Amino acid sequence: MKEICYLELMLRKRRHVVFGLFLCFLSLNLVKGQETSQQVLQQKKPYSVSVGLRQGYDDNIYTSSNNQKGSMTTGIQPSFLINYPLDQTLLSGRYTFDSLYYWDREGDGWDLSHELVGRINHSVSERFNLDLRERFRYAQNPEILDSASALQRNGNYINNTASLQGSFQWTPKFGTVTTYTNDLYDYEDEITKQTNNNMSQTVNQDLRFLIDPTVTIVTGGIFQDVSYEYADRSFNVYTGNVGADWTVSPQVTVSGRVGGQYFDPGDGGSGSTSPYGSLGLNWILGARSSLSANYSHSLSQTDIATSYAQETDTITSTFKYQWTPRFSTSLQGLYTFGSYTTEMEIPNSGMGDYEENVATLTLGATYKLNEWLDLDASYTFTNVADDTNRDREYTRNQISLGIRGTY
Query: pTM to 2 decimals?
Result: 0.84
User: CA-to-CA distance for 203 and 223, rounded, in angstroms?
Assistant: 5
CATH topology of domain 2-104+142-153+208-406: Porin (2.40.160)
What separation in angstroms does the CA of 178 have from each of 168, 204, 256?
A: 9, 6, 18
CA 123 to chain centre: 26
Determine the 3-state secondary structure of 26 from DSSP.
Answer: helix
Return the closest-CA partner of residue 204 out of 146, 248, 165.
165
Residue 66 per-residue DSSP state: S
pLDDT one digit per residue (tens) for the chain, 407 residues: 433 443 343 434 443 443 443 333 333 333 333 344 334 444 468 999 999 999 999 999 988 888 899 999 999 999 999 999 999 999 999 999 999 999 999 989 999 999 999 999 999 999 999 999 999 999 987 665 455 444 555 689 999 999 999 999 999 999 999 999 999 999 998 988 999 999 999 999 999 999 999 999 999 999 999 999 999 999 999 999 999 999 999 999 999 999 999 999 977 667 899 999 999 999 999 999 999 999 999 999 888 888 899 999 999 999 999 999 999 999 999 999 999 888 888 887 777 788 999 999 999 999 999 999 999 999 999 999 987 766 788 999 999 999 999 99
User: CA-to-CA distance for 207 and 174, rounded, in angstroms?
Assistant: 8
* Length of the chain (residues): 407
For the chain, the domains span: 2-104+142-153+208-406
Return the closest-CA partner of residue 41 out of 91, 78, 6, 75.
91
Q: CA torsion sign, 5 to 134 to 334 to 294?
A: negative
User: CA-to-CA distance for 176 and 310, rounded, in angstroms?
Assistant: 30
